[in-house]
Amino acid sequence: MLTQEKLQQVLEETKVIAKKAGAFIRQERQHFDMDAVEHKGFNDLVSYVDKEAEKLIVEGLRKVLPEAGFITEEGTSTTQSDDLNWIIDPLDGTTNFIHGIPVFSVSIALIQKDELILGVVYEVNLDECFYATKGGGAFCNEKPIHVSKAPDLSASLIATGFPYYNFDLIDRYLATLKSLMQTTHGLRRFGSAAVDLVYVACGRAEGFFEYNLNSYDVAGGAIIVQEAGGMVTDFSGGKDFVFGRQILATNGNIHSEILDELSKDWSS
């Protein structure tokens, strides 16, 4: 078990590594060539920037916690531990990056067994570093952050993400969107789940939901929401949001309302 003092030390080093990866990504975006894009699958894009950023992060984190394993999007390290594991998305919002849309981030989390204990999300374009440790509160660029106090859905802005290759559940998704469009301030699709989550954490949005996500999409941002006073569950209100491929994160006040909406279309 890491002491709180050790965890804070690890956090500070992780923030430096995330910003270093972000600086690399920012630099590469200035002269990025679409010919460098690869396809992992239909609409599942990757580039050398994702891979090199991940190598940089893994190399740095190995020095920070040699005993920890890795769960990575690009597979540059696949050795996992029975105790501590880093969960890394080196470039969350790759499609935005490729098209020059300035919403993408670096996401890093540390999980012990099945409990998130550290998260860092660095939004590259705005130079905003969001971070949290278990029991230590949530911050952005050294300032404490908190979820919105909006009391209900009618006063809320909701973020989400659109499916881009698995369309089997699209009718359920569209039904939920139709309902939320009529009961909220509006819906937003930023294109980076990590950014969606930290925007909930700092009160820019009241909620975020999405399905078919991977652990590296959500782990870093989820603990930041929790430490900012928010609530994070799967679509049934359970705890399987890191590896369960569906997540609902809110300011807490509107959580039951959105769960009620989701239960109409996602209960089966």
Q: Residue 260: in which H helix or E strand, if any?
A: helix 255-266
For residue 115, give the amino acid letter. E
Do the annotations mark residue 73 as ligand-binding?
A: yes
Euclidean distance between CA atoms 237 and 259, whole angstroms: 7
Task: Provide the CB-side half-sphere exposure for 181 (13 A, CA).
Answer: 7
DSSP 177: H
- 82 assigned ligand-binding residue: no
Q: Are 196 and 226 in contact (CB under 8 A)?
A: no
DSSP classification of residue 234 = -
Strand boundaries in 65-197, DSSP class E: 69-72, 84-92, 105-112, 115-123, 128-133, 138-140, 143-144, 157-160, 186-188
Please tell me whether 52 is known to bind a ligand.
no
89 is in an annotated binding site: yes
Paired tokens of 154 = 């009618």
Which residues make up each annotated binding site for Mg(2+)? 73, 89, 91-92, 217
Which residues make up each annotated binding site? 73, 89, 91-92, 217
